Chains A and B, each alone.
Chain A
Amino acid sequence: MGDTRGDLEEIEVLLARYGNRLDRSDHSGWVDLFTTDGRFEVYGRSFEGPEGLLRMAESAPGGLHLTSAALIEIDGDSATVEQSFLFVDQVSHESRIGWYDDQLVRTSEGWRFQVRRSTFLTPDGPSDRP
């Protein structure tokens, strides 16, 4: 199955929409980027399913997500992604840095996150919280 440029482009759009929708407070649109059993791991917690994800999005601090060129490995109907990020808080302008580790799956509606895990890079090393 489709190790094609179309897959690569679609996955890059998915990655771009992640930050874009969160930054614009399009919370339900952001939840739609995950599978119905998808989860987001951050702050040592796992936010699962549409309700859990929506709760996370609505409580997340406002700001801007800047993401780097992604490392994408496609294997049939699944893919893994690694991508560094820098988040700038809307109010304090303080920033956090780290990377995402993702598992994506191809659904009938296109590529979706099954798991996205945030790792923060802190002065003490990589951590699941900033």
Chain B
Amino acid sequence: MNDIDLRAVHNLLGRYGLLLDRLDVEEWLDLFTDDAVLDIDGTELDSREKRRHLTTTAPRGVHVVNLPVITGDPATDSLSATATFLFRSVDGVTVRLGWYDDRLERVGDQWRFTYRRISFLD
């Protein structure tokens, strides 16, 4: 993977948690393609509006994401990624563990989520 793609993919994966933690909602929504699906343990959010609604109902806290495993050939404009995460809510009451399974797509000179599945280790 060339430097530009590697940088863009790392930044995309980093932005997901950071922007949610900071509640930069519109910037966070821009991380997904228009037809993306955010699959939260079987509940599929398949529109920008549904994903925006999630940001108003999800508990606030911090996401700590482990180093990702990125697979695929960027020349196809499509990559897969997976990483484990820990979420701690701001009140300290909720700690959730799990992993992400992602499909990423190149849009212009950016990479976007076209699919992210969140699986919880409960």
Chain A interface residues toward B at CB < 8 A = 3-5, 8, 66-74, 82-86, 94-95, 97-99, 121-123, 126
Contact = CB atoms under 8 A, between A and B. Distances in A.
A106 B86 CA distance: 32
Contacts of B62: 68, 84-86, 97-99, 121
B92 interface: yes
Nearest to A124: B90
Given A83-B18, A84-B21, A94-B92, 11 more contacts: A5-B3, A8-B3, A69-B10, A69-B14, A69-B17, A71-B14, A71-B18, A72-B10, A86-B62, A122-B90, A126-B22
Overall SS of chain B's interface: mixed
Contacts of B3: 3-5, 8
Given A4-B3, A8-B7, A69-B83, A84 B18 contact: yes
A67 B62 CA distance: 10
A86 B90 contact: no
A110 B54 CA distance: 41
B91 A68 contact: no
